[in-house]
Structure 1
Amino acid sequence: MVVVAVRTKKTRAAGIPSVDLSLDRSMVSELIVQACQNYGFFKVINHGVPRVTISRLEDEGVRFFDRPARDVQRAEPAGSFGYGSRNIGLNGDKGELEYLLLPTDPFSIVETSKTISDEPRNFSGAANDYIEAVRELASEVLDLAAEGLRVHDKYFFSNLIKDDQNDSVLRFNHYPPLKTSEPCKDEEDADEVGFGEHSDPQILTVLRSNDVAGLQIALPDRLWIPVPPDPSQFYVIIGDTLRVLTNGRFTSVRHRAIANSSRVSRMSIMYFGAPPLNTTISPLPELVSPESPSLFKPFTWGDYKKAAYSSRLGDCRLDHFKASFNQ
C-alpha cells in the first residue's frame, strides 16, 4: 500500500512507504530496511496496538489541553518534563503549538499525573498502557530492521530502549487553529511554522496523530512531502542515533509541522525511544568494512543529547561527531 501525497508549491507528489506487520516476516524485514534507507520514515499498519489503548490516551490529552490556562500551567515543569507553549527548547525556536513532555518510567508517570489531571489515576493508567504498547511496537520494528541488516544480535537495537535505565520520553504536541482567516501564504514563513525543521536525535520515534494534517517530511532532494494523517495507524521516524548505529545505512529523516490552518485542533503523540545516557553510540562492527569505513566517532547518548538540545532546530548536529579521513 502506498499513500500518495498532494502536490503544493514547495512539495511534490511522492509515495510514502507503508509496512504491513502481518505479512511474512522476511518480507516485512526487507520492506523496513528499504524504507529506512530511502526515507527514514514509514507507516505501520496491522501494528497490534489495541484501539482502546490509543483512544484512552488521546481522550486524556484532549481533556488536558481543553483545561483553563491556569490549570494547564500547573503542569509547567520545574525540570525538563511538563507543559510548555510556543518556545521549543532553550534556543529561541518557536512554533504555533503547546506541548506536554513526560518520562516513560511508570512511577514517574504516576507522580507527574498529579499536576496534569483531576483524575491522575486515569491519566497515568492510560499513559502507561500506551507507553508499554508502543515500546513493544518500536522493539518489534527494531528487531525486524536488525534481521534485515543481518546484525549478529537481532535484539541489539531493541534492548537499548528496553533497558531499565532507558532515556525514552513521551510527548504530546497540540496545535490549536491559527487565529486568522487567511490561509498560509508561504510554508517557509516563520510565522506559519508549527514545529520547525529537524531530525529526531533518539533511536526512533513512533508517532500517531488525530485526523488533522500538518506533518511533512523532506526527501534527499530537499523537497517536502505532506503526510496524510491516519489516526488508526502509526508512523515510524528514524532518529540520528540509529543512523549512527547503522553507519549511515539508515536515514534520519528531517521533518516539520506547519501551523494548523484548519478549524480543528491537531494533536500528535510521540514516543521517542532512547538508550541509557551512558550508552556508547558508534557504528556496529558488522556494518563497518574497508569498503564502508566508520562514518562517525564514538560518543555517548548523554553527550549527543546535550549537543542536540543546545543547538537550534535545523542544525546538523551529527557533523560534530563525523569521522574524518585523510585523503
Structure 2
Amino acid sequence: MEALNGTDLPVIDLSLFPSQNVDQNQLESFEFKKLRQACQELGFFLVINHGVDPTLIQAVDGRIRDMFALPTEVKNRAIFPIFNTGYGPSVVDDAAKDSIPENMSFPWDHLLPNSVEKISAKLWPQGNPPFCEELNAYGAQIKELCQRILKLLVWSLGVDVSSQSVSELFEKSFGNVRMNYYDKCTDKEMISKAHTDVSFFTILYQDDIGGLQIRNKQGKWMDSKPLPGSFVFNVGDILQMWSNGRYRNAEHRVVYGKSNRNRLSMAYFFDLPNEFEIRCPKETIDEEHPQLYKVVTKDVVLIYEHRNVI
C-alpha cells in the first residue's frame, strides 16, 4: 500500500498546559482541544518542551549505539527467558516485510528488578556503571513525563483526577523501554511488522532518519517527519479501552533500509500490571458514547487483543 508522503504530526507543547488543577474554561482551550483531536483522529502526536534533559538523551543515544555495536556473541549473553526483557536478534522474512529489528528491552520496576544493571552485567565484565547511571536517569525522567501526560489525558476526557480509579493508574503504572536498532541496507527496503501497542501509551525517541508510518482512519499509511528535540506519543490498546474508544490506538510500522546510517529508536511503554482491571470511567460513557468494552484485566487484552468488545 502506497504511503502518503511527508506528514507532520500534531505538535503538543507541554509548556502551554497547567500543572495543577484545571477549570472548564481551560479544558475548552485551544491546546486541550488540539490534544483531544490528536488522540481521537490519529492517535499520535509530537511532544515538545517535555522537560527531559537533551544532553542526557544524546548521551543515552550514544550509549545504546555502542551497545548494539558489540559482537553478536556478547549480545547473545543478554538473552533472557522473560518476555520483553534483554536482547532480541533481528528477524527478517524472505519478502523483507513483517521484520523485527535488533532490540534490547529494559523493564523498569517490573518483570526483572534492577534490569539495567543485570543486563549490563551480561554485556560488560565490570557492568559498565556509566551506562547504567545514564540509562536509569533517562528512565526516571521519561517516567515523570509519562505521569505528567497521563494527568493531561485524564483531564482532557473530563475525568476526575482525584478518583480512586485514576489514583490506581498513577500508583500501579510502570515502564518498559525497548531499544530498536534498524540495520542499514543497501539492496532492499525493509518493513517492520505493523502493530498497535499493548500498553496504556508509548513515548518514543527516534533519531532524524525517519521511517515511522501510521495508518490513518482511511486505511492509508502516512509518513511522519521527525522533529528534533521532540518525542512521539501514541495511544495504546489500554488507553483506547479505558477512554471508551474515544482515543484511537493507530496501527503503525517502520520502513527502513537503503540508508548510509543505522536507525535508532527508544520506545518507553507506559503500562499496567496484567491483573489490572480496565474499566471505562463513568465520565466517558453517555448517550452519544455507550460503553464499548467489557471490564477485563490486562492479561485478557494480551490474549484476545480487541475481541473483548461488548
Deviations 1:75-104 (A, max 9, x none): 11232211112349xxxx951520001111
Q: CA deviation at 1:179?
A: 4.4
- TM-score where L is the length of structure 2: 0.86
Which residue does the alignment assign to 2:23?
none
Contact 2:39–2:248, Cα closer than 8 Å, also in 1: yes
Which residue does the alignment assign to 2:105?
101
Distance in 1, Cα, partners of 2:209 & 2:166: 31
Of 293, 296, 300 in structure 2, the residue corresponding to residue 299 of structure 1 is 296
Deviations 1:214-238 (A, max 9, x none): 1111110011111112342101010
SS in 2 for 1:63: helix
Which residue does the alignment assign to 2:247?
250
Give the letter aligned to residue 16 of structure 1. L
Contact 1:238–1:251, Cα closer than 8 Å, also in 2: yes
Asked if 1:216 is matched to 2:213, the reply is yes
Distance 1:158 1:131, change over 3 A: farther
Distance in 2, Cα, partners of 1:154 & 1:198: 33
Which residue does the alignment assign to 1:63?
66
Distance in 2, Cα, partners of 1:135 & 1:63: 24
Contact 1:96–1:259, Cα closer than 8 Å, also in 2: no
SS in 2 for 1:16: coil
Which residue does the alignment assign to 1:172?
179
Q: CA deviation at 1:154?
A: 5.8
Asked if 1:21 is matched to 2:21, the reply is no
Which residue does the alignment assign to 1:5?
none
Distance in 1, Cα, partners of 2:216 & 2:231: 20
SS in 2 for 1:101: strand
How do residues 58-137 of structure 1 correspond to structure 2 at under 5 angstroms?
58-80=61-83, 81-87=85-91, 94-95=98-99, 97-105=101-109, 107-118=114-125, 119-137=127-145
Asked if 1:51 is matched to 2:54, the reply is yes
Distance 1:159 1:113, change over 3 A: farther
Asked if 1:11 is matched to 2:11, the reply is no
Which residue does the alignment assign to 2:268?
271
Distance in 1, Cα, partners of 2:167 & 2:272: 8
Q: CA deviation at 1:159?
A: 4.7
Q: CA deviation at 1:161?
A: 5.7
Asked if 1:234 is matched to 2:227, the reply is no
- What runs of 5+ residues in structure 1 fail to find an aligned partner? 1-7, 185-191, 308-316
SS in 1 for 2:293: coil
What value does the CA root-mean-square deviation take over the aligned residues? Answer: 2.3
Give the letter aligned to residue 269 of structure 2. F
Distance in 1, Cα, partners of 2:160 & 2:180: 37
State percent identity of aligned pairs.
27
Asked if 1:39 is matched to 2:39, the reply is no
SS in 1 for 2:104: strand
Deviations 1:146-186 (A, max 9, x none): 112110126878755643x5453110000010142x5x4xx
Distance in 1, Cα, partners of 2:256 & 2:105: 20
Give the letter aligned to residue 101 of structure 1. S
